[in-house]
Amino acid sequence: MRSPELRLDIATVCLSGTLDDKLAAAAAAGFDGVEIFENDLLVSTWAPREIRARCGDLGLSIDLYQPFRDFEAVPPDVFEANLRRAERKFDVMQQLGADTMLVCSSVSPDAVDDDDLAAEQLHELASRAGERGIRIAYEALAWGRFVNTYEHSWRIVRRGDHPALGLCLDSFHVLSKGSDIAGIRVIPGAKIFFLQLADAPKLRMDVLQWSRHHRLFPGQGAFDLSTFVGTVAATGYAGPLSLEVFNDVFRQSDPARTAADAMRSLVILREDVSNTGPVQVRERMRVADLSTVSAPAGYAFVELAAPAPAGILAAMGFVHIGQHNTRPIQLWQQGDARVAVRAGVSERIGALGVATSEPLVAAQRAKRLLASGMSDVDYDDPAVTAPDGVGIVFVRPEGDWMADFTPPEPGMVVNTCGITGIDHISLTEPFDDFDQIALFYRAALGLEPEPEAEFAAPFGLIRSRSASDRDRRIRIALNVATLRRGHWAPAVLDPQHIAFTSDDVVTTAMAMRALGAPLLDIPGNYYDDLDARFALPPERLDLLRSYSLLYDRDEHGEFLHFYTHMLGSRVFFEVVQRIDGYAGYGVVNSPVRMAAHRQFRLANAPARE
Ligand SMILES: O=C(O)c1ccc(O)c(O)c1
Ligand SMILES: [Mg+2]
């Protein structure tokens, strides 16, 4: 028998707004159906029949009504009242055209620890539901009073033994408890009535708080959703993949944006399961039109807009090698590092030129991951816009794109300072979009996440997350201020930088200083601490100190780096040297860099009127 098409659902609780905002957003993002969260219905001005009609107009089915709470294992009088309450909800569901009701395990003080009673009462509920064509999906909440594991909920469903009684599996409840998911394999797929998906960051906290405030869409947290979905799908489960994410930020965010992020996350999850999951589920999970990503060949260029960058670039040894034939873009180069300087827009990294053997395919993939297209006024090559507004231009490694640039007068001065290429770019993202943006870059460029870091900067905590391809040709570091409160922090909006590579950062720093490059001075305390921590040879330490070079070390090797001043108020450059495969980004030195930038700005601020 062929299983029905895979359906993708989202719970209305994931999205902000009124029920109509939520439904419109879910439909626009391409979802097939929704879980109606009871509260969203209760506050709606639409009667259940009108909600059904609206969903019909939008092409959405209502696949679950939820939650029905505190039903089972109660004394007879409470049981009678609960059955009556359930019948009223069945009425609503019939008007909605919803055929599955989620019953979550009881947290009620009325409940008793008695599996037989729970099973018997759920059996009775299911037989009443069954008469109305409704099914009961029983879900173990991780904080359920007596039933809080999927194994326990399955024992009760089996004992309840009714065709209209089955399980709801929710990845959060299962994975937050560290349960062994191998036990899912013995559950017949037909008895799994519904599958809810949520990721979450690793946090040590009360599981209810964790669930109600910190859930994330798949791929944005620390859970292995791919193995979980593969395992459930391998039972023969034929229902929807449904996102159920309780998240404080999403509850306040534009629902259209959240729904698109949610859909992207499902696309990426399906791709993962279709590549690595059990063989029998791979085809079912496959995403149509999602081409595989070929490894990027590196940064072809980074497009930058900044106030008068030519002076700094020249002082860093870059050469102006071309002017775009039709656009206000100058190309500057040193070694394999190319900076496309765009005139006339606000200070920012505008686009990443990513070299890849199949630019069109790469752009199609990014669009399938819900990137918006980039206007072709900007680039002739296939290009998209990442969710943070940064363009990604896919060009061939051969460099044909450079044919659009006319070289300037011959006989230009070449002052190379030893820069060989682009190591990484670093962007500061808004807190609210951080996880989605990180996931997008990873999936669109085929990058793998690197360890996350958190550090105390002068004006607050910064979380830093980076990703790179396997060959380390493309590295992206994303930073976020974990909170933004009040007006004390300086108005440096979302700093961004380009880090160039050098094979000999000392020589590069010397050459740049000789050319008058505005390099950032690092205070002496930093070097005293380096001495304490690393016991570097005194001559080496002196060299670092005299050129304001920063230093770090990991289990692979060493890292030397230095920074320029801000070009205007947000963009700056870094030069790095990785020795013996140092894998990080010198994040421990970021607070020193930030304080130094702040110091410089204060010292050079125009005097107040
Ligand atoms: O937090 C809750 O109460 C709750 C309700 C319904 C669910 O499906 C769930 O996973 C959690
Ligand atoms: Mg749930």
C-beta of 140 in contact with ligand 1 (< 6 A):
no
Which residue has the CA at smallest separation from atom 5 of ligand 1? 67
Please give the torsion angle defined by the CA atoms of residues 535, 539, 541 and 543, in that order, rounded to the nearest 10 degrees: -160
- pLDDT tens digits, residue range 45-101? 999 999 999 999 999 999 999 999 999 999 999 999 999 999 999 999 999 999 999
Task: Specify the ligand 1 atom closest to the Cα of 139.
Answer: 8
- Say how many Å lie between the CA of residue 172 and the centre of ligand 2: 7
Of the chain, the percentage scoring pLDDT greater than 90 comes to: 83
Asked if 36 contacts 66 with a C-beta cutoff of 8 angstroms, the reply is: yes
pLDDT digits (tens, 9 = 90+) for 422-463: 999 999 988 888 889 989 999 999 998 898 899 988 888 899
Residue 447: its H or E element:
none
- Please work out, in degrees rounded to the nearest 5, the angle formed at the alpha carbon of residue 514 by the alpha carbons of 512 and 517: 45
pLDDT band at 1 (very low <50, low <70, confident <90, very high): very low
Question: pLDDT-based confidence at 608, cuts 50/70/90?
Answer: very low
CA dist., res. 140 & res. 172, Å (int) = 10
Report the distance separating Cα 232 and Cα 563, nearest Å.
50
Determine whether the annotation assigns residue 496 to a binding site. no
11 CA closest ligand 1 atom index: 8
Ligand 1 centre distance from Cα of residue 494 (Å): 36
273-325 pLDDT, tens digit per residue, is 999 999 999 999 999 989 887 889 999 999 999 888 999 999 999 999 999 99
Neighbours of 152 (CB within 10 A): 16
Predicted confidence (pLDDT) per residue in 333-370, tens digit: 999 999 999 987 789 999 999 999 999 999 999 999 98
What count of residues does the chain have? 609
* 16 CA distance to ligand 2 middle (Å): 18
Q: How many angstroms separate the CA atoms of 500 and 338, rounded?
A: 10
β partners of residue 431: none
- Choice from 243, 244, 245, 248 to test ligand 1 binding pocket (greatest atom count within 8 A of CB): 244
Name which residue leads in pLDDT, 258 or 373. Answer: 258
CA angle 553, 416, 426 (to 5 degrees): 45
CA dist 136 and 290 (Å) reads 35
- Mean pLDDT of all residues in 21-48: 97
Beta-bridged to residue 135, according to DSSP, are 100
Distance CA 239, CA 135 (A): 13
Cβ atoms 62, 88 nearer than 8 A: no
Alpha helices in 43-114 (DSSP H): 48-58, 76-96
| 348-355/298-305 β-pairing | antiparallel
Residue pair 601/566 in contact by the 8 Å Cβ criterion: yes
ipTM, 2 dp: 0.99
DSSP sequence for 518-529: -BPP--HHHHHH
> What are the pLDDT digits (tens) for 111-158?
999 999 999 999 999 999 999 999 999 999 999 999 999 999 999 999
Domains annotated for the chain, with CATH where assigned, are 8-285 (3.20.20.150), 298-603 (3.10.180.10)
Q: Please tell me if the CB atom of residue 239 comes closer than 6 angstroms to any atom of ligand 1.
A: no
Question: How far is the C-alpha of 555 from the C-alpha of 143, rounded, in Å?
Answer: 41
